Amino acid sequence: MSANSDTAARRARLIEIVKARSFQVGPEMKLASGRTSTFYFNMKPTMMSAEGARLIGELICDQLEGVEADLVGGLEMGAVPIAAATAAIAHTRGRDLSAFFVRKQAKEHGTRSLIEGLARDETMEGKKIVIVEDVTTTGGSSIKAADAIRAAGGDIVRVITVVDRQEGAADAFSAANLELHPLLTMSDFRG
């Protein structure tokens, strides 16, 4: 099997898992973006399943072939299992790619860090960063993470979402000089 057919098979299986565990159509629900929709993705059941986590990590690592990166992460909570799965899969492929996450707000105790997961004396300064997210609607969560990463000196080389709802996030990222790379899109779940 070629690398492209492996990726296509992984992608098809991930769609099946998301449909079974995380996607629902029903009454209007409020999204993190503040918008409402009758299409809802609760990606936690997929991301927290062994197969779902593995597939997400593999597909992200597939997208990162040939991309120089030091760290993978994003805004808590959605990015945490994705970053961990990606780092673990990268390790099995012989790649050193550590995970981190950006807090929505710094804790009032301990190190009071906004960015967690870095080694004690490590910083983001000059590091090549991949931002990950579970579901993207407007891009607000990842752009918030991008702002914190840039303020810490990180160089964002890729933004990857598991599902792009195709509701304007790509344009928002473009305005922030970033390009969104989805594993799946809303189009995969309509029809």
One digit per residue, pLDDT tens: the chain, 191 residues? Answer: 567 889 999 999 999 999 999 999 888 888 777 888 888 899 999 999 999 999 999 999 999 999 999 999 999 899 999 999 999 999 999 999 999 999 987 666 556 688 999 998 999 999 999 999 999 998 888 898 999 999 999 999 999 999 999 999 999 999 999 999 999 999 999 86
* Fold type of domain 3-188: Rossmann fold (3.40.50)
154 φ, ψ (degrees, to nearest 5): -80, 150
Instruction: Find out whether 129 and 151 touch, Cβ atoms under 8 Å.
Output: no
Cα–Cα distance measured from residue 143 to residue 191, given in angstroms and rounded to the nearest whole number? 30
DSSP string over 42-109: --HHHHTSHHHHHHHHHHHHHHTTT---SEEEEETTTHHHHHHHHHHHHHHTT---EEEEE-SS--SS
